[in-house]
Amino acid sequence: MNSSSGQRRLVVAALTALAVTAGPTACSSGSGSAGSKDADSGTYTIWDPYPQFAKSSAWVKLLDQCGAKAGVKVKRTGFDTSDLANKTLLAAQQGNAPDVLVVDNPVVSTLADGGVLTSTADTKLDTSKVDANLLAAGQSGGKTYGTPIGANTLALYYNKKVLQQAGVDIASVKDWTSLTAALAKVKKAGKKGITFSAIGTEEGSFQFLPWFWGAGAKLTQLDSSQAESALSLWKDWLRDGYAPNSVLNNTQTTSWQEFASGDYAFSENGTWQLANAKKAGLDYGVLPIPGSTGGAAAAPTGGEFVTIPVQQDTDRYAISKKLAACLTSTTNIYATDTTLSYVAPTSEVQDKQVTDNPELKPWVAAVKAAKGRTSDDLGTKYPKISEQLWKAVQSALSGSKSSKGALSSAQGAVK
C-alpha cells in the first residue's frame, strides 16, 4: 500500500479483471476531478452510481448535510453504474481517487484486490449492526471494505387473479415440486406460467443464482449434480410450456413487461419493480423464491457499499469516516433506502420499514436469506464464473447442449 509503483500494478490488474463487465460511457452530474487532496482543504469528494439524482434531490441534499455535519464541503459526482469502477481505478492509478465511493457490491472485492480501498480495520468504520450475509459481499481476504447502504434481491411476484382462476392456493407453493405443479395448473387453465430473465449477461446469472443456490450448488463447482438439477428445472419449464422461449433474450425489464400484461402467474424480479407493480394495477403478492426441498433460497444481493478509497494523505480518513457513518446512520439510511427501494442492511431499520410498509415483509425475508455474489471469498474470480454460468444457461435452454453438458463445459472453462 505504501509503494506507489506496487499499487499501480495492482490497479492495472484490477482493470483487467473488470474488463468482462465493462459498460457504456459514464453519465456524470458534475466534475470528475477530486481536486485538492490535503486533509485541511475543506472539500471532500464523493462519487456515486446515481446520476439520476439532481442537486435538488433528497440524496444530494443528504450528502451536503453530512458534509456540513463533518465541517466540510462535499463535491459530488454521479456516474453510470457500469462505468464507475473503471473511473475509480483510473483515478486511483493517478493518485486522485474520491474520498468516499458508493459502488455496486460485486465490484468491492475487485477494487480491494486492486489496492484501491481501505478496510474498516484501517478507518475504524463501525459495521457491527449490519447483517452478516449482507456485509459478506464487501469482504475479501478476511477483511471488510466499507458498509452496505442497502440491499435489494429477487423474489417471485404472483398474480392472485391468475392463480385463483387456475385453482392454485399460493400457500401450497413451498418447493420446486409444488411450484411446478402450480405452473401445470395455470397452463391447463389457459394462462401463462412464469417469466424470468435468462439473457446471456450478468442479469441472466443474477436470475439463475437463486435456483442454483436453492439446489445446494456452489459457484466453485458449476458441474455438480445440484447445479444440473437447477438448470434442468428451467429447461423442463421451457419444454413443457410453463415458461416462454423469450426468457433467452429477456432482460429483467422485458420479463417484467410480460408479467405486467396480466397473463402470467409468476415473475422472478426485484424490489425495484414495486412501483411498477402498483402502476400496472395488478392484484399481486410476493413470495421468496423457494429452495428445491423447501425454505427460502438464497438470492443474490444487489445494492451498493459505501467505501473509503486509499489516499496518500491518510489524515483525510477521519473526515471520510464521518461522511460514511453519516450516510449509513439509522435515521439517514431509512430515508435513503426508501428512495432507492432498498431493504436496509440492519434489523433495526428493517423492522421500521416493515412497520411503515407491510408490503416489504416478504422482501425483508428474502434479503435476510440472500447472499453476495462474491461471498465465499470468490472476489475477482466471480466475473469469470458468472460469464460461464450464463453461457451454460443459454446453451441448455436453447437446446444446443444438455444441462449436464453445458455445465461441464462451463466448469472446464473456469478452470
For residue 415, give the nearest of 380, 388, 376 by alpha carbon: 388
Please say if the pLDDT value at position 340 is more than 70.
Answer: yes
- Write down the pLDDT at residue 133: 95
Q: How confident is the model at residue 379 (pLDDT cuts 50, 70, 90)?
A: confident
What tens digit of pLDDT does each residue of 180-207 get?
999 999 999 999 999 999 999 999 999 9
CB of 27 within 8 A of CB of 49? no
- Write down the pLDDT at residue 339: 85
For domain 154-299+378-414, the CATH class is alpha beta
Amino acid at 145: Y
What tens digit of pLDDT does each residue of 129-150 get?
999 999 999 999 899 999 999 9
Q: How confident is the model at residue 96 (pLDDT cuts 50, 70, 90)?
A: very high
For domain 4-151+302-368, the CATH class is alpha beta
Mean pLDDT (whole number) for 17-27: 38
- Write down the pLDDT at residue 375: 87
Residue 127: which residues within 8 A CB-CB, separation 6 or more? Answer: 120, 135, 144, 147
pTM for this model (two decimals): 0.85
Please say if the pLDDT value at position 13 is more than 60.
Answer: no
Percent pLDDT > 90 in the chain is 83
Q: How confident is the model at residue 38 (pLDDT cuts 50, 70, 90)?
A: low
Sign of CA dihedral 181, 186, 187, 189: positive
Q: Any idea where the domains of the chain sit in the sequence?
A: 4-151+302-368, 154-299+378-414
Please say if the pLDDT value at position 25 is more than 50.
Answer: no
CB of 191 within 8 A of CB of 380? no
What tens digit of pLDDT does each residue of 291-304 get?
999 999 999 999 99
CB of 386 within 8 A of CB of 116? no
- Write down the pLDDT at residue 37: 61
What tens digit of pLDDT does each residue of 61-78 get?
999 999 999 999 999 999
- Beta partners for 346? 130
Cβ–Cβ contacts within 10 Å for residue 15, how many? 18
Sheet holding 154-159, edge to edge: 192-195, 264-270, 154-159, 284-287
- Write down the pLDDT at residue 12: 44
Q: Which three cell numbers stand for residue 380?
A: 475477482
pLDDT: is 17 or 130 the higher one? 130
Q: How confident is the model at residue 81 (pLDDT cuts 50, 70, 90)?
A: confident
What rounded mean pLDDT belongs to the chain? 90
CB of 407 within 8 A of CB of 223? yes
Report the alpha-carbon distance of residue 138 to residue 50 in Å, rounded: 19
Please say if the pLDDT value at position 43 is more than 60.
Answer: yes
154-299+378-414 matches 4-151+302-368 in CATH topology: yes
- Write down the pLDDT at residue 166: 98
Q: How confident is the model at residue 312 (pLDDT cuts 50, 70, 90)?
A: very high
